[in-house]
Structures are given as structure tokens and as C-alpha cells.
Amino acid sequence: MYITNKHMSRRTVLRGMGATVAMPFLEAMLPARAAWARGAAAADKKVRLVAIEMVHGTAGSTAFGIRKNLWAPEAAGRSFDLGPSVLGPLEPFREYVTIVSNTDVRNAEAFTAPEIGGDHFRSSAVFLTQTHPKQTQGSDLHAGVSLDQIFARKHGQDTPIPSMQLCIENVDQAGGCSYGYSCAYTDSISWASPSQPLPMIRDPRVVFDQLFGVGATPAERKDRRAEDRSILDWLGTSISRLKKDLGAADRARLSDYLEDVREIERRIQKVEAYNSTGEQRELPGAPIGVPDSFSEHVKLMFDLQALAFASDITRVFAFKLGRDASNRVYPDSGFKGAFHSSSHHQEKEDKILEFAKINKYHVSLIPYFLEKLKSTPDGDGNLLDNSLVLYGSPMGDSNIHNHKRVPLFLAGHAGGTIKGNLHVKAADGTPIANAMLTVAHKLGIEEVASFGDSTGELDLNT
């Protein structure tokens, strides 16, 4: 390869009429001689964070589920068996996976008599803040700053979008929910300040336009969709000009990336076209860009996150997969029972096993995202090497609305700070906030001395 001192800025974008597409990482973005001397890894290692919440806890938090290892493997350490667990689908990625079990979320519990019964309506606000929310149906909200936003404050300011908040279920209910709690507590897991929950985006079209339509007016975006044209059609000249200045490897990588952008756009257009036919929908109130299929919706959102990471548009996502008290049905799980009612299994073993099928189905969608990250080059490794995916729930045994032995696992090496292939079983009574404090430190946020009700760090590497 011919080396010069010239290099392309990491902030290079393709611009067209009402469209801006950021570039994936290319060799041309490395300061050639400097990179040759110190290695590509040091030149562009950026850690990304995805925090994913799934509501209603897990079948593995019940007494029966613990005996049967329905969530956590029997063995702690590195020689664990995922076979009996709902985490079985993660086996191909075990070298990247860190399972944390036997931790509690005390701040999601009721502190006063009026709060009893309101677990579903405060839990999501606790998940990433680990702070007990103020019981109110008014605007005087109070929780805490969420982990994703602490990370975004330090590491998200160098990107066009400091962070993004996505969801799958309907979260646009205004006013008060039940047991004296504002729906704002139920609708978001991301808090910029103790009084500011961040809105979450449900429609993949809106996400796509935010990521790849920077600068476009609503009228321009409407015209582009009406003409059934791709965003890439507006960038043809810019793409051709850029490719002339790239080497063969970079041209191939750019082509693959742009094809990924186009393929996601096609899928969104297909969903919108179907939802415009007047056919009866499974989700009649959902935005036109939202697929009726849960798995298709989740995968679209994962693909958008992977592209955003590849092009360094943002390094932070909060992703809410469910909404408390939702009775959505997941037939692809092999069980047709409604989610919320199935979570109230009366501690009956057969019903717990049915609920475990839903849990396993939800977890089974994560490897799709992990494979996307692993197959995307990033410096001298891949995006999964330089990312941390946090998946969990602030509830444990949903049948009794408790918050003990809650589910949590991490995936990714976080830039080399987390080894993976480990099951950490915490001592009884350990706050999950200890694990989150450790995550903050592994992500380079050393100035955070405590988090929520943390009592110290939790070793995530031995």
C-alpha cells in the first residue's frame, strides 16, 4: 500500500439535497505514517454503549427457576453451562458475555404504604438510574441521571448525536398512570437529569431520518418518500467523487456500508407500503413505519444502531424492548399467552416454564445484534470488541412484583476492559448498582464514586 501523510477526516460526510450520510471507519481516515508507527487500534478506538431493558423480570428469578437454572447457570466462573438457561442463545458469543446474577434493585421497591402495588409504574425509571422515583402524577418528576446519559456526557459530545433513545412498545401516553405515578416514569429508561426523562423513538423511519437525513426539511423528506427514492439517490455525485480517492479495500467497505443503508431503507419502505394498504394491522395504533412483527421491529432497530456505531454518528443508545403491564403476545416464542398475564404465573411450575419461553425468545434476538457488531471492523478489531451491550430488567419475580435476583448480562469487551466468558454470582443482598458502578468505571467514567445505592464495585473479570 502506498502511504502518504494525507488522510480523510473521521467526520467526513456525503452530502446531497436534504441528506447527509456519515462515513464508516476507513483506512484513509488513519494518519498514515503515524498509524503505521503506533497501530490502528490506538488511532480510532471508541467505546460504545447500548443499554437494553426488558420488563417483567424473568422466570429464573422464581424459587423454581433458581433451582432449574432458568436464568443464571449453576456454576459461577468460566466453566458454566447455558443449556438449561434462557440465555442458551448467547452460547455462540460466550467469549463476549458476562452474566451477573443474584443482585437486587432495592430502589424499585415500595418505600411507603401509598407506593405499594406501583412496581410496574416506577421500575423503568429505576433501571438505569438506580434511584427511587418520587411518586407523582404531575410534572414534579424526580428520579436520577441514567447510566447512558452519564456516559454520553463524557463520551457522546464528539459525535453529531450525543445519544439516542429507542423503544418498541407504545410509550406516548400522557398524564398519570396507576398507583399515583406519572406515565413518564413508565415510558423512558433514559434520564438527562433527575427531572428530565428523555423521549424514546418507536418508529424506525424517524430513527433513519435522524441518522441519515441531517439537514433535510420535513418537506424534503416527504418528497423523497413520495418519489420512492433512496436517500442514496441524492448522493450519487458525492459517492462517485469520494470513491475515486479511495483504495480498493476502502471502496469495498464503503460499498458494503452504503448497501446496508439502502437495505434498511428498503425494509422501512416495505413496512410503510404494507401499512398503507388498508389491511387490518396487528398494531392498529402504531406509526406507519412500525412493523407488526416484534422481531422484525427489533432487528430494524438493531441494524440502525449498528450503522450508527459504524459511522460514529452516536456512541450511546438506550433501548426499551417492552412496556410494563403490556399484554403483547409473542407467538414466535412457542407460547401464545399474553406477556403480562403470563408473568403472573402463581408460582406454578408449568406456567413458569411457559413464561421462560417468552424470556428465551427475547434473549434470542440479541445474538442478531451481536453478530452485526462482531462482523463490523473497527480499528484493529470489531465493533463488539469496542462496545458494551447491557441487557436486564429492574424486576425479579414478576408474579409477586419483587426486585430481587434480577436478570442482567453484559456483552462485548468494552474496548478491552471486560474479558467476558464469565458468570458472576454476587453475594446475597448485593445491589445491581454495584455492577453498574463497575460498568461506569470500565467505560472510563472514573469520577463517578457511587451510583444509586451502590456499596462498592463488583468484580466483572474474575
Running DSSP on this structure, what letter comes out for residue 405? S
**What would the grid cell of residue 76 be?**
459461577
* 1, pLDDT greater than 70: no
- Cβ atoms within 10 Å, residue 106: 17
Strands 48-53, 387-392: pairing kind:
parallel
311 and 23 Cβ atoms separated by less than 8 Å: yes
Running DSSP on this structure, what letter comes out for residue 343? H
pLDDT tens-digit profile of 61-107?
999 999 999 999 999 999 999 999 999 999 999 999 999 999 999 99
Stronger pLDDT, 142 or 11, i.e. the higher one: 142
Strands 164-167, 316-320: pairing kind:
parallel
395 confidence band (pLDDT: 50, 70, 90): very high
Could you tell me how far CA 203 lies from the centroid of its own chain?
15
* 265, pLDDT greater than 70: yes
pTM of the entire predicted model = 0.93
Domain with CATH 3.40.720 in the chain: 47-202+294-302+314-462
| CATH code of domain 47-202+294-302+314-462 | 3.40.720
328 and 341 Cβ atoms separated by less than 8 Å: no
* 456, pLDDT greater than 50: yes
* 13, pLDDT greater than 80: no
Helix H or strand E encompassing 257? helix 248-275
Stronger pLDDT, 365 or 174, i.e. the higher one: 365
324 and 56 Cβ atoms separated by less than 8 Å: yes
Q: Among residues of the chain, what percentage have pLDDT more than 90?
A: 75
CA dihedral 120, 108, 408, 343 (to 10 degrees): -30
* 109, pLDDT greater than 50: yes
Which residue matches cell numbers 439517490? Answer: 233
42 confidence band (pLDDT: 50, 70, 90): very low
Name the least confident of 73-82, 272-281, 346-355, 432-441. 272-281
**How confident is the model at residue 18, as a pLDDT?**
62
Running DSSP on this structure, what letter comes out for residue 460? S
For residue 244, report the phi and psi dihedrals to the nearest 5 degrees: -65, -25
pLDDT tens-digit profile of 335-389?
999 999 999 999 999 999 999 999 999 999 999 999 999 999 998 899 999 999 9
d(CA 405, CA 396): 6
d(CA 100, CA 85): 13
450 and 425 Cβ atoms separated by less than 8 Å: no
CA dihedral 330, 331, 334, 336 (to 10 degrees): 80
The mean predicted confidence, pLDDT, of the chain is 90
Where b means 16+ CB within 10 Å and e means fewer, 165-174 reads bbbbbbbeee
- CA angle in degrees (0–180, nearest 5) for 370-375-378: 100
Tell which residue, 202, 165, 197, 164, has the closest CA to residue 182.
Answer: 197
**How confident is the model at residue 39, as a pLDDT?**
47
**What would the grid cell of residue 454 be?**
451502590
**How confident is the model at residue 447, as a pLDDT?**
95
Q: Among residues of the chain, what percentage have pLDDT more than 70?
A: 90
**Contacts of 12 by beta carbon, 8 Å cutoff, 6+ apart:** 22, 23, 29, 242
* 7, pLDDT greater than 50: yes
Write down how long the chain is. Answer: 462
d(CA 283, CA 124): 23
**Contacts of 289 by beta carbon, 8 Å cutoff, 6+ apart:** 203, 204, 205, 206, 268, 271, 272, 275
Which residue matches cell numbers 428465551? Answer: 360
* 29, pLDDT greater than 90: no
Tell which residue, 212, 302, 255, 199, has the closest CA to residue 21.
Answer: 212
**How confident is the model at residue 12, as a pLDDT?**
73
**DSSP readout, 125-155?**
HHHTT--PPP--SSS-------HHHHHHHHH
pLDDT tens-digit profile of 227-249?
667 888 777 778 888 888 888 88
Stronger pLDDT, 168 or 13, i.e. the higher one: 168
pLDDT tens-digit profile of 197-212?
999 999 999 999 999 8
d(CA 26, CA 67): 50
